[in-house]
Amino acid sequence: MEKNENKFLAEEKISVLMRKYAVPCIISLLVGALYNIVDQIFIANASYLGSYGNVANTVVFPLTVIALAIAVMIGDGCCAFVSISLGMGNKSNGKKSVGNSIAAVLVMSLLLSAVYLIFSSRIIAMFGGTVNEETFNYSREYFFWITLGIPFYMFGQALNPIIRADGSPKFAMVSTLAGALINIILDPVFIFVFEWGMMGAALATVIGQAATAALAIWYIANMKLIKPSLADFKPDGKILKRTLLLGLTSFLSQISLVAAMAAINNMIRKYSALDPIFMQQQYAQIPMAVVGIVMKFFQIVISMVVGMAAGCIPIVGFNMGARLNLRVRELFTKLLIAEAAVGAAALIIVELFPRQLIGIFGAANESVYYTDFALKSFRIYLCMIILACVNKACFIFLQAMGKALESTALSMTREIVFGVGFALLLPLKFGLDGVLYSMPVSDFLTFIIALVLIIKTYHSLNNAKEEN
């Protein structure tokens, strides 16, 4: 009986399943990305904050990614574990994974918030928040209020993939959308009407995150397939270890991105001080503000890419558990094509319309140096975005197949070896422009490795025994 509850995952057309699961996941992640992006748009267009506030947002952003990394490790790992368990007809282990995951995210979110509050000034300095006094003060204010919302944020993000695994991708989407809409409504009120500045932007975000967390709590009490009992919340080392291992790639892909952002922010700060224009006090914050904007656009694109791939995790896991390898291969092919198409569309936008993109983030209030550096940054930094999209799809698909080692190795190579390495090395030769070159070089070299793994994956799926 248990084995057949999700049998449509093994019978429905792959294209239909992709639409059903991927689209809500894409929307959920896009909406989640809007929290920080919306803050930055309103901050940039507030004349009393401007590029100083933009830098503060850029500095704090990777610190929220750390929280996200822990949350998605727990949530994506649980999602993959539950899907595989249901495919094998073992609902009991799936319920234990859900209970253990909920307990784990609650504990980890409180610990992270405590660390952030105790060491806030040191952490902000580590991520480049000392460009000047204004950016440091804005960063510290924004970071404090964002930290108070970390438990809500992590809980909502971790439960999102678990809700999808329970067969409710639309509810996962709606819960995230509700929080983001609250943030969008409150941001202009707090920033422009009340003039609460960075505190107002952060409070709008935290209130939205609390709403998403509240909806997730309601869903836990009304789960369809894998509602945990009180006994399932008791720590089970074996279940929790396997859950976290399956989510390790999600964690490392996010946490390694934080390392890359820290390296980029600090290299920007260092080499801006050597640039004849940006060494001037009134322009010192421009490079970091601009690169922060470019990374926000990249985040939107990657949210779509990760949404497509992550939305397919229940489909991949169930069919792998049921050993329907031909369906897994078909899904992999369709996913790679779709991801490349998203990357191609993004490339056209960044190469042809960068001026319109920076206009959204308050460029009209800034100097000509701001605009010139922004145009160059968009066109160089994201010129290999198609390959970046394919790489991300490969990371997540391998993870969903249970190939945690290959997925983790590829992700770490991209973000740590290449991402951090080139961000530190290329500026030695090319100065501030070297920071911009680090992104496309890293994506190109990662794609060469990913291509080998893609071919290897097709080969293994072709040779594996197919079961009815």
Q: What is the pLDDT of residues 354-377, one digit of tens each?
A: 989 888 876 666 788 989 999 999
**Cα separation, 224 vs 163, whole angstroms:** 10
Mean pLDDT of 194-215: 95
* pLDDT of the residue at 465: 55
Mean pLDDT of 48-61: 86
Q: Which amino acid is at 82?
A: V
**pTM exceeds cut of 0.75:** yes
* Assigned token pair, 96: 């234990």
Among residues 64, 36, 30, which one has the least CA distance to residue 311? 30
* pLDDT of the residue at 170: 86
Q: What is the per-residue pLDDT across 382-420, written as a single tens digit (0 to 9) for each?
A: 999 999 999 988 988 887 887 878 887 888 898 889 999
Element (H, E) at 407: helix 404-412
C-beta separation of 22 from 95 below 8 A: no
Q: At 467, is the pLDDT very low, low, confident or very high (cuts 50, 70, 90)?
A: very low
- DSSP code string of 195-257: --HHHHHHHHHHHHHHHHHHHHHHHHTT-SS----GGGGS--HHHHHHHHHHTHHHHHHHHHH
End-to-end CA distance of the chain: 17
Mean pLDDT of 14-19: 90
Q: Who's near 197: CB < 8 A, 6+ residues apart? A: 46, 48, 49, 53, 138, 141, 191
Residue 460: other Cβ atoms inside 10 A: 14
* pLDDT of the residue at 323: 85
C-beta separation of 116 from 353 below 8 A: no
C-beta separation of 310 from 396 below 8 A: yes
- DSSP code string of 142-205: HHHHHHHTHHHHHHHHHHHHHHHHTT-HHHHHHHHHHHHHHHHHHHHIIIIIS--HHHHHHHHH
Helices 286-311 and 50-87: crossing angle, nearest 10°? 20
* pLDDT of the residue at 114: 97
Element (H, E) at 322: none
**Cα separation, 185 vs 102, whole angstroms:** 30
> Where would I find the H helices in 88-128?
91-118, 120-126
